[in-house]
Amino acid sequence: MPAFGRRTPREWIRTSMRTPGILIFGMVLAPCGWILDLTATVAPNWRTLNNIPLRPQNEIIQQGIFDICTTTSTSTSQDCTQEDAPYFEEQIIDVAQGLMVASLIVTLIGLAVAIPGVRCWKDRPNWTVAGLGGLLIFLSGVMTIIPISWYTHILNNITTVTTGAEIRVGYCIILGYIGGIFEILGGFVMFIGICRCCGGKNRGEKPVEEVTNRGRRQNPPPSRQVDVPTLDRPRSTFSKESQDDDVSFPRAKSPAAPSNISFNGTPYDADL
């Protein structure tokens, strides 16, 4: 015998066969973030050294976490594989190398896990699998933000053989921040699909009773038919005189056309 006051589980129904928006959002941002993180990992431009003493004024040294290149502001060519032992011995370089590579791998694993759960050819997605993939993507974004933030914080304190130069932030830092934020947002939005919230709107679902009651309200009872008396009278054949007699005021008589028409013009031969 069921316990007193126990509620039956609420049934939900999907209102559309489309893939939920939170899954589309995550599956778009995650690959974009992965591409930006890949560029930030392999490109040697985490910071740049400008105005280097005892060197040409337009020479620039670009330092990454795997390589160091030398270029000029007036040329597009680069001379890479530069030696800088103090720079690569810094702790942040080893941490950044490990976390950035791990972030790329975890993102790919997260996408591989999420794709079977996001399949739109089924009646409803596998929210547990899709949420697990979103969690992995979220963690990969965190693994990207940690070395990027740490490197930015100690940007001017990282030792290098080149001293006295002006240090500037490279474009890899910007790309890394954007890519990490993309992965964090995409993974978090996908992960919240594990639990139903906001009245089921995050999953594109509605309670069964709400859909049923709405369908009933959209079908009102048929309206009553009311017989309205007609004001049309039966027509009968009337003569013109009877119509004139039927009105309550006299009609104006039209003047009769003259029978004799005088002709004052010059006659022609055809008139004779």
Q: What is the pLDDT of residue 4?
A: 46
3-state helix, strand, coil in the chain (%, to 5): 50, 10, 45
Report which secondary-structure segment, H or E, holds 167.
strand 166-169
Q: Token pair for residue 137?
A: 């993507």
Which residues, in sequence order, are CB contacts of 77 under 8 Å at separation 6+?
A: 71
Residue whose C-alpha is closest to residue 103's, from 160, 37, 47: 37
Residue whose C-alpha is closest to residue 72's, from 92, 103, 48: 48
Ordered by start, the domain boundaries in the chain are 22-213
Give the chain's count of helices (H) and strands (E).
Answer: 7, 6
Residue whose C-alpha is closest to residue 173's, from 211, 147, 138, 206: 147
Q: Token pair for residue 194?
A: 């594990």
Rounded Cα gap, residues 165 and 85, in angstroms: 17
Rounded Cα gap, residues 175 and 70, in angstroms: 21
What is the pairing mode between strands 166-169 and 59-63?
Answer: unpaired
CA angle 187, 190, 196 (to 5 degrees): 140
Rounded Cα gap, residues 64 and 142, in angstroms: 20
The one-digit pLDDT tens for each residue of the chain (272 residues) are 444 445 556 665 555 656 778 888 899 999 999 999 999 999 999 999 998 888 888 899 999 999 999 988 887 788 888 888 999 999 999 999 999 999 999 999 999 999 888 875 566 778 888 889 999 999 999 999 999 999 999 999 999 988 888 999 999 999 999 999 999 999 999 888 777 655 555 565 655 555 555 555 555 556 666 666 665 555 555 555 555 555 555 555 666 655 555 555 565 555 55
The amino acid at residue 144 is: T
Strand partners, 206: 13
Whether the Cβ atoms of residue 171 and residue 28 lie closer than 8 Å to each other: no
27-48: b (≥16 Cβ within 10 Å) or e: bebbbebbebbbebbebbbbbb
Give domain 22-213's CATH number out of 3.40.50.300, 3.40.440.10, 3.40.50.2300, 1.20.140.150. 1.20.140.150
Question: What's the distance, CA 2 to chain centroid?
Answer: 47
Q: What is the pLDDT of residue 121?
A: 58
What pLDDT digit, counting tens, does each position of 167-209 carry?
A: 999 999 999 999 999 999 999 998 887 776 555 555 656 555 5
